Chains A and B, each alone.
Chain A
């Protein structure tokens, strides 16, 4: 009995703190703007905007789990939806009803194209990291440039505007009164959670992140597993791209640039160890909720996006300080 209690305490300290933080932020924002914050609209809009960021944070977490990082996720997200957008423009007319009413098989093909782009881009990262042994930071800085660069070459700079209605549903639609992006996010989060907790692949990732050498001596296929984790990261990034372009009806080479820091922040705040070995999907969900409440509260208070950036950056530093403090007392 005490063993179970101990276990609960140990496992959930971080989650409890995060839940507390979420409640605190919620209370503070509600107290600061009682009129405007406590409206259904505010929460509804969060359910549309948060998922794309949440997916990027999960992607980041997966890369960090093996002690790596993926700085190319934004590039992958943009490249995936730009390719899909150009595909739609090629098969439909660039604008007008023909594009908007594109048939579902073609939209499905576009989704497949975007996903494949993400998986392929992730596979390139994975090959560089596992085969050529380039350190993940530099490998993904480099590929991030290349992916963004390809976006620029393909579009020449301006946004690809106009996506089919069905595609837009993924980013804007609702099902059973719930935002479709939220459903996508929750399904993906549940799958990744299940993968990390219950599958051989997920546990191998954690073991490799803890000690790659011991993993090799235990007979784990370290190279293949790490490679697959970057493929997965790329795939998750492309789903984020689909949601982003679906919501905004556009795709551009430099969309979502500030998401990179935010994804790292959420992953770190969620209790992911950037040196590898520890990750938590419920942590991501809570950290995402906390930070989305914070930033929409601030936006209601007419804080500019730049100020929100300042606060996000400050939050990252604060969460580092908190983690350091927690480790000291432990």
Chain B
């Protein structure tokens, strides 16, 4: 009897050990990283840099697969269609985890169906005019925008730059003609070409356009350390006019399907620590801002902050899903 018990314990231990080694072996085949943007943009580039660094840490290839379009839903669903085994990673971003689920019926719930690992790529918006614009300062711009309906360039309707513009308009009682030019670089080019009077770009956009454009104001009162290195001396809305609100939430990072075994999540969290090091940051292009948040709990809290921030603005636009 005693022997039998020992045998049972031994067997259980063996089974446990087997289970342990099965997990310990992760990863033993290539990992796919699904990106919901087309190849070549900022999000894709940072995802590829992430993939390269993770591949080195984990010892298996991490392959980027672009699935652009369809309001990011096909890409998101393609991850949820796969087993929760840590072999399919998702490059989450404001549209897939925030704007799209807030504005339309989607077959997923970002914070319930995914376990976020970290946030890296980030952005804050800034208001730009072309270098030869009559508006030299933010104050002159506000005066001008009150006397004349200016054309404002944003990337997409409902995207963070558009939401920044909406917030600016409502805080200062302005009215704009809004032109959606698809991407941030095209929005900035619209400024150079004279198609728009003023454009919402990112704080880091200055690195591409230098003295061809003039930054007027940073559309984010939550001062980040990259503001001073990108746009030295440029004020935020709240600094220029105390009491006026301006906020941006643009973050992105990696997530796995919810239900992925904790040891695998832990292994991915451990491996992704390298993505927060100064060495990795140095590889991220200058025109991309980076704001490192690591760990499921911290990232979930950050995403919830964004949902609370954008829900009322989207509601004001009549876009919020009821």
Tell whether A and B belong to one assembly.
no
